[in-house]
Amino acid sequence: MINKDRIVEEFMKYVQIDSPTKNEKEFAEFLVKELEDLGFDVYIDNGGEKIGCNTGNVIAKIDGKIQAEPILFSCHMDTVSPSVGVKPIIKDDIIYSDGTTILGGDDKAGIAAVIEALKVIKENNIDHGPIEVVFSVYEEGGLNGAKNLEYDKINSKRAFVLDSGGDPGEIIIQGPAQDKIDVKVLGKPAHAGVAPEEGISAINVASDAISKMNLLRIDDDTTANIGIIEGGSATNIVTPEVNIKAESRSLSDEKLDNQTNHMVETFKNSAKSFDAKVEINVERVYSSFLIDEDDDIVAITKEACEKAGVKPFLNSTGGGSDTNVLNANGIKAVNLGIGERKPHTLEEHMHIKDLVSSAKIVLELIKLSAN
């Protein structure tokens, strides 16, 4: 029942509507009209206002034709840069950009799958329970839209997030927590040619700390990275200040605490050995989640995949998504693979068959949830 030509046409249309992070308004307004035409009551919350977006999260609801527990489908509207002026191209049943921008399948492929399934439900008068949809803002760079979602407007206790690069059939039941670590190293300026011994190089302090730090792949559950280092103004000045942005992630909260503490203590110890100072701020960006393999939400997702002709498989991820935030707010959520190939790159592409399969899975989830 999924209309292949229609979902491709819709996806091509979506990616050509500019929606870089914090500027999702045009795309949100387009989706509001689509959802209203499908009979949904649609509301744009105030979550975006708190985080500097030009619109809020789109929340849509429709009553069920039969009595059942409501279910939620979630995707994000924003895209990473460069994403203005996307020109999609189809070649050999694969959709690419023209190579000057990303494509935007992350996460407009998820949105296209949800909308297509909802259109099939309406035009075929298929029985369904209550359905809720959230299209969030500012997911990229911190899951900020989901963090500021007006949860009092949501009734569902189960959610299906369509935002993973895995093949359709992938069911992500575990995701990591992440710590953001901002470090300011404070040394002492001096003339690098006349009296360098009078200075304390913040660059030396930072490099000493980083050289002693466990980074990148720590173990199967844990990663850590120094992402940005900024400092210095001239070669003839002993650099007095360096700013560092780092992160650590783990599927285990205990391991994450240990890794973050290790990084913090290493910076402190190096600063002490150079008689420098260090200011460190740690923020838990999002919490980890773990859904039991035998949970009902996993069982229904597996069955939906099988009915859609897709082989289901369970997986964990090292990345964060709105799935983390939904679970932290009492909504049991899994993230589904939709085939986002090479997201966040100019080589991003989508196989048309993955768009169709994802829509089929959404359709089967709606039908099964009604039972």
Give catalytic residues, as residue numbers.
78, 139
- 80 DSSP assignment: P
Spatial contact of 157 and 305, defined as CB atoms under 8 Å apart: no
Angle at 360 between CA 330 and CA 88, to 5 degrees: 100
Judge if the upstream peptide bond of residue 107 is cis by omega within 30 degrees of 0. Answer: yes
* Distance of alpha carbon 108 from alpha carbon 78, whole angstroms: 9
Q: List, in order, residues 6 or more apart from 29 with CB less than 8 Å away.
A: 55
* Distance of alpha carbon 303 from alpha carbon 242, whole angstroms: 53
Q: Residue type for 29, please?
A: E
* Distance of alpha carbon 149 from alpha carbon 259, whole angstroms: 30
Lay out the sheet containing 89-91: strands in order across.
89-91, 94-96, 349-351
Coarse DSSP helix, strand, coil percentages of the chain, rounded to the nearest 5 percent: 35, 30, 40
- Maximal C-alpha separation, the chain: 83
The residue to which tokens 């942005």 are assigned: 245
Helical axes 105-123 vs 4-15, angle rounded to 10°: 140
Closest CA to 96 of 104, 107, 108, 85: 104
* Distance of alpha carbon 113 from alpha carbon 103, whole angstroms: 16
CA-CA-CA-CA torsion for 312, 217, 322, 137, nearest 10 degrees? Answer: -130
Closest CA to 76 of 147, 140, 150, 159: 140
